[in-house]
Structure 1
């Protein structure tokens, strides 16, 4: 028994007439597909099985119709997949099985689906006839798809034109009230509603802003309150709410009780509430549509599209009418909402880490240290001065030399002093001889005169001897020559009291700090600190403040006060005079944030004091 005997063959004429009648009277896409496949199978001789595959909304190809209904279609899956993959007609024939034909349904570059047939007649003539009829039917179906896409394109163009028109109309109004009234009137005309209401969010509640075909409304009226309650359901759920619920697609997650109460009191047979929101932000307004016919899915989809376009327009108009206080509060609420939503997680994480660091910096105390330029000086500085007026004979010492106690720094010319010494020695000897002669003669007058002359000569001799003893200038202690280089002035005259050299001891140092006047109030004697010199940046010296001078000096446009500090533990310290560095004085504990910002806050306080009348 062959496959033709497995299924009863229908009457071709009766089947074709019924299929054509079904095709003409099809009221849905599903009925149209079944009727089209039945007509095609009735025209193809010896057609046993027919399958129509169409692309669904997800992009997959699924069976849209089968002929006869209830036929097992698994055996047609392989040829259907091959046809869709190659986008070409496919013919298969296996021994003992019917012939399988598959033909793609394409319009331009779009592949809408495929039609698969099984034929009992294996002859090439039957296959060619089936291919021609299938090609004809596929062209008719492709044209149907093209017409449907054209209709959809016209609908989208009409919707876009309306969106453009209503947006321009709202933007052209002078204030938000007029814009809202224009909007609800146009929406009422567009969707055939006898009333459209607009409510604006005020905190967690809604306030009625506009009612179509009405320039005035009573917010305290019971019907207006019920309408606000219905819109609040959509506002709280952040989704579109329709009344009555679609019985074919029940939604158990959407509340509609307030819509039901309002529909009963207002007499409206169909309601639809649409929230208006910008992006993922909470809704700021709700539209309520009312009419006496049920809203279609395409209309509900259009409302959602309108909400996405009109939300920024209404928000802009409302923001322009707000006062400064309301605008500030709304901006703060918006900023707070942005902080708690899921947008920009990286930035928010960074801001959170920064805020945590600032809190820690404001709470954690650290030692506050005042920085100041510093210079090293000897604890005691001794000056080597010219002992008398004379001429410089030699000066072996120079600035920077290290000298021992008693070492000659310079030597004065002593030739004039030696002559003066001989002179006064002679004068003294003569005066003493005269004194003895007068004493022998008992001449008291000449004795006293000679004694006076002897005393005078002795004094002058002592003075000459004293100067001779000071001809050589020696170091009073082990020291370093801080100042003085007379190697180019040998033989030059020098005046008594002129400073020739300055010496500083090697084992005792002091540090002089220049404290900025902005920090002088925090620096007190007795405070400790650390010194780092430019010549030895890796070593630190501890010091203690001894005194702060009350006199300031001006350097580089700023006032500085000199403070003297004493180095602690100077044993083994190898320093040189006039070495410069940076000293930091510990003045107490402060928060890390205060340490970073106190200069700026002090400037702000001073500026406010200066500018305040």
Structure 2
């Protein structure tokens, strides 16, 4: 830093020491020299000043001593007034009997507090204090103005860097392909940093491939100098960090740079910088090599690192657009493989590993493959109670759901007409028999035969009437449960012969009817066992064995089902009711757990491929 400033003079500085202080202030080459010279001038201007302290804010935000006058003075006694001044951001004056006057003044520019200046005065008079305050205020304003100018310069520098970042990014994005974008980029970077050459190399697996060279539309990749440049850039690519040649104290870390030395010797460049381009924590996909004959300054190295962070996604986007389908797939696979082996997302990778292990176990461990299907319970046999003759219903004590014993009356027909008909035919029979006897007594063979025929007809009608009377009561043929039928609301209604009044199922023998999906019917065979769980008793399981599979399908809810009959195993003591529904699972063999989970999908794929294949 080299700054020369013209400050107003005062009669109090007309001394050799004052001249030296002003000369030191005018010829300060660094910020430290400027602070010491400024404090010395201020202390010599203030009458009676014996100690001076300048506090400035460092990079961490703390306020530390930047200069003391005279040098080597013990400054602990000034700490309290300095803290009060910095805390209140106002001038502070302290005076105790028998002690020098202490005066502190803040150094502020706008809303920013840069530090404070503290003076110790021998003259306790109010006039000396006011003069010291004015001179301190003048000196602080001059120093604050320097801070404001420095901040303005830094802001202009940041604005210039931001403008260049936008310019070079837009220029690269405006090019039609990656080659033109890379050539535009290296030319602009060469002009920005005063380089006689800038090269760009792209990662091709573990190696680099030269993509663009500034001020040159063509280059020979097989040339020895180009190979040496790639070797130099490979050093930065392998180490994932910028490599500077020659190495200086500002370089962070110690990196191998032998290839840079060889290239610098052959190319004649006195200063080299290899800057990798990477997106986030991913491996670099490109490297920039800067060459010039003057050493790169720390501020320029910082600007290159900033450029690398901005240009990396721009170049990656342009390069991805120019890739072929095969190249894009290969790069995606490499990226995926790298993500699988790096340290990112450990939770997801652990979960994926556990899932892969579970799938492997599922593909190896065999389990029983069970075909699931809806099921309904029915009686092993089912009897119907039908109307024996045309008539009227007199009584119906039984209804659906009732448990009946063998011989128990289910319903009664009205027998009044039958009783009258019985009396009629009995009378007809008796009259025909009397006529037959009279004809026999008179030896009238013709009337005898005619009367005998009438008697036989009356006897047949009587027998028919007696038969109907015997069937007036409909009784249960065995111990059963009434599955269907409720005639309590139809008493006195006419009934036609053959009409079903009740359906009965036995209590001790059951069968299970399964509805097998057509996708599973090929695996279900007679003799296979399984388990049944009913909706009404989800905690109990009944074992069964498939008895037969019907070859005829039925359509329900848009799917084809085949009916299979199964018989319960060990039916003793089984308490079931007909028409109970549930889910049955038939064991059809052993398969891997993964096959059981995925066979429906794979079967669909096979069928679809067969359908779509010409």
Q: Give the TM bin, normalised by the shorter chain.
A: 0.7 to 0.9
The separation in 2 between residues aligned to 1:535 and 1:6, in whole angstroms, is: 104
After superposition, the C-alpha distances for 1:222-275 in whole angstroms (9 at most, x for unaligned) are: 1111111111111111111111111xxxxxxxx111111111111111111111
Deviations 1:171-205 (A, max 9, x none): 11111111111111111111111111111111111
Residues 141, 492 of structure 1: alpha-carbon distance in 2 compared, 3 angstrom cutoff: closer
Structure 1 residues 55 and 485: CA distance shift in structure 2, 3 A: closer
Deviation at 1:572, TM superposition (A): 3.3
Please tell me whether residue 13 in structure 1 is matched to residue 25 in structure 2: no
Q: Secondary structure of 2:56's match?
A: strand
Of 408-417 and 99-108, more deviation after overlay is shown by 408-417
CA contact (8 A) 1:3 1:120 kept: no
Residues 368 and 190 of structure 1: CA distance in aligned 2, closer, same or farther (over 3 Å): same
Aligned equivalents of 1:202 and 1:312: distance in 2? 17
State which drifts further: 572-581 or 168-177: 572-581
Contact 1:197 1:212 in 2 (8 A): yes
Aligned match of 2:64: 62
Displacement of 1:63: 2.0
Over residues 300-339 of structure 1, what are the superposed CA-to-partner deviations in whole Å (9 max), with x where a residue is unaligned? 1111111111111111111111111111222233333344
Unaligned ranges ≥5, structure 1:
247-254
Contact in 2 for aligned 1:226/1:258 (Cα 8 Å): yes
What secondary structure does 2:15 align onto? helix
- Checking the alignment, whether the CA contact within 8 Å between 1:548 and 1:564 is kept in structure 2 is yes
Q: CA RMSD in A?
A: 5.2
1 CA distance for matches of 2:407 and 2:62?
A: 110
**Structure 2: segments with no counterpart, 5+ residues:** 249-255
Classify 1:396/1:347 alpha carbon distance in 2 versus 1 (closer, same or farther; 3 Å). Answer: same
Within 5 Å, which residues of 2 pair with 1:430-441?
none
Taking the aligned partners of 1:144 and 1:153, their CA distance within structure 2 comes to 14
Q: Deviations over 1:556-587 (max 9, x none)?
A: 22211112222333333333222223333333
| Cα deviation, residue 544, structure 1 | 2.7
Q: Is residue 431–residue 454 contact of structure 1 (8 Å, CA) maintained in 2?
A: yes
1:535 offset after TM fit, Å?
A: 3.3
Secondary structure class of the residue paired with 1:138: helix
> Residues 235, 65 of structure 1: CA spacing in aligned structure 2 closer, same or farther, 3 A cutoff?
same
Distance 1:492 1:91, change over 3 A: closer
Deviations 1:449-498 (A, max 9, x none): 99999988877766555444434322111112222344555566655544
Stretch moving more, 278-287 or 82-91: 82-91
Is contact 2:5-2:25 (8 Å) kept? no
Return closer, same or farther for 1:486/1:98 CA change in 2, 3 Å cut-off.
Answer: closer
1:107-147 alpha-carbon deviations (Å, 9 max, x no partner): 11111112222333333333322222221111111111111
Question: Contact 1:4/1:120 (CA < 8 Å) preserved in 2?
Answer: no
Q: Deviations over 1:77-124 (max 9, x none)?
A: 333222222222233344554333222111111111122223333333
Map 1:3-82 to 2 at 5 A: 13-82=15-84
Contact kept, 8 Å, 2:4 with 2:26, in 1: the verdict is no
CA contact (8 A) 1:3 1:98 kept: no
Q: Does the 8 Å contact 1:223/1:266 carry over to 2?
A: yes
More off after superposition, 2-11 vs 263-272: 2-11
Aligned length: 605
Does residue 1:102 correspond to 2:104, yes or no?
Answer: yes
Give the drift of 1:4: 32
Note closer, same or farther for the CA distance 1:112–1:415 as it changes in structure 2 (3 Å cut): closer
Q: Is the 8 A contact 1:12 1:42 kept in 2?
A: no
CA contact (8 A) 2:2 2:29 kept: no
Give 1:48 deviation, angstroms: 2.3
Greater alpha carbon shift after TM alignment, 11-20 vs 286-295: 11-20
Comparing 210-219 and 361-370, the one that deviates more: 361-370
Cα 1:422–1:122, aligned 2, differ >3 Å: closer, same or farther?
Answer: closer
Larger mean CA deviation between 312-321 and 157-166 belongs to 157-166
- The 1:115–1:489 alpha-carbon spacing in structure 2 relative to 1, beyond 3 Å, is closer
